[in-house]
Amino acid sequence: MTTTGLGSASPLRGRLAALSAHLLVALVALVAIGGATRVMEAGLACPDWPLCYGSLLPGRQMNLQVFLEWFHRLDAFVVGVGLVVLAAVSCWCRRQLPAVLPGLTLAAAALVALQGLLGALTVTLLLPFSVVTAHLVTALLLVALLSACTQALLVAPGEPMHALKPQPGLASAWPWLTGAVALVVLAQCALGGLMASQWAAGSCLASGDGCGWLLAHRLGARGAGLMVLMLAGLSLWRRPQERPLAALAAALVLGQIVLGVLALRLSLSVPAVTVAHQIGAALLVAVLAALVVRSALASFAPRLNGHG
């Protein structure tokens, strides 16, 4: 997100920030690949787990659907290894790093283990909608945690905190406000996942079935979008240090509205639009998590930004 203070950070902190940022990009890509796997109905293209047709690389069976599912698992494995490395180094070198980092990375490592279990269950239980939705929500939680880790590492310990201080009157409330908006957006993403995993939108457009899920998602999107735009407006007005992230959040919300309307106008017939909508959701979660950390650092530093 922002690279404030990276130049003055320690070499270890800079390297971990780069690793965390790369893992964040890989996680967003993983969400995109997962979305493509779903819309292409490739969730069971590999009928076994963790191998695919009993091998690491199913050359004979390889087609677009098998490739999507196989590559989804490969990306998940690489991200999992990277997160374990990040957690291990964060705990071992905790005295040189922000106090919040070991807890964040250990939580991410625990979610990776849960994600692996959910990934196995999606195949062995033949794609139950509840497990598929939990799989998506866990991925978005990982995106939020990695975005938080990256921000905590990018703000150097010696950075003048007057550059981060909120306006008077907002100091105590702002982190809770940004956190509440982030939770609302995450809940809206979960609702969208429930709708998508039951193919409710397609059923509603084709036969009028499942329209309750689509209506709930659209109503929820209006409320969540309005909250993000209001938060972005307040940030642009009162918190200049967060303006780039706030502007990005507002742009992503507007983009999500356009993609959502376009997907329905096209009757979900263009997979790229549906996948782009899911990517936008993941990016919005990442930006809001970054805003939460920036506001928390501004309000509670040096305790959060100090050494463990």
Residue with tokens 């390297």: 15
User: What angle, rounded to 10 degrees, do the helices at 243-265 and 200-207 form?
Assistant: 40
Q: Which residue has the tokens 């983009």?
A: 255
Residue pair 148/292 in contact (Cβ under 8 Å)? The answer is yes
Higher pLDDT residue, 305 or 83?
83
The sign one gets for the Cα dihedral 37, 253, 16, 303 is negative
Under 8 Å between Cβ of 43 and 127: yes
The pair of structure tokens assigned to 99 is: 């106090």
Comparing 267 with 259, the larger pLDDT belongs to 259
Has residue 276 got a pLDDT over 60? yes
User: For the ranges 1-15, 60-74, 82-96, 182-196, which has the lowest average pLDDT?
Assistant: 1-15
Report CA 125 to chain centroid distance, whole Å.
25
Mean pLDDT of the region 178-184: 95
Is there a contact between 308 and 97 (Cβ–Cβ < 8 Å)?
Answer: yes
Find where tokens 């240090």 sit. Answer: 241
Backbone φ and ψ of 228, nearest 5°: -65, -45
Domain map (residue ranges) of the chain: 6-300
Instruction: Give the separation between CA 222 and CA 188, rounded to whole angstroms.
Output: 10
